[in-house]
Structure 1
């Protein structure tokens, strides 16, 4: 099974810039060992089951709680597909077969 999670999570009660807090969330994701891709607007993570994906979301929230964030905004999207793996890379390769290399 492949669970793709697109997640954006940040505090709304801090400064205009969120990079300090967001970088700590990204560190939690990086340290999880799951493959991920950081974009300008969100982070895409691939796990093998929904339980791991949801546990990672919880850890990210807990990190913001440790940073004394009183209000957190989170946006989550899931694409869950049985009998597939490595879709973080394979979905891009599938598009590239049709139009050539894309920006990553």
Structure 2
């Protein structure tokens, strides 16, 4: 009986930690648009832009070589970086995956 109660306490603690802890998976975005090289801008973050039908996003990544996708219609999977936008700039997206559409 004591072992069962201890096991239930451990399981409930693990579950509650998972629900309380913020997760990058909860912040996953899938965006479709055209990748452009970052030119002159009033904001100073990101290396590339993603132009969608309704919005522009600044992009950064340590995983994908964005130069390979400049001028192409793509689908990007990533997460919004907290603390952005700044200086009236766009949201900053940390790109995890990119696929040509």
TM-score norm. by structure 1 comes to 0.25
Which structure's residues are more often strand, by fraction?
A: 2
Which structure's residues are more often helix, by fraction?
A: 1
TM-score norm. by structure 2 comes to 0.26
Q: Which protein, 1 or 2, shows the higher relative CO under an 8 Å CA cutoff with sep ≥ 6?
A: 1
Greater C-alpha Rg:
2
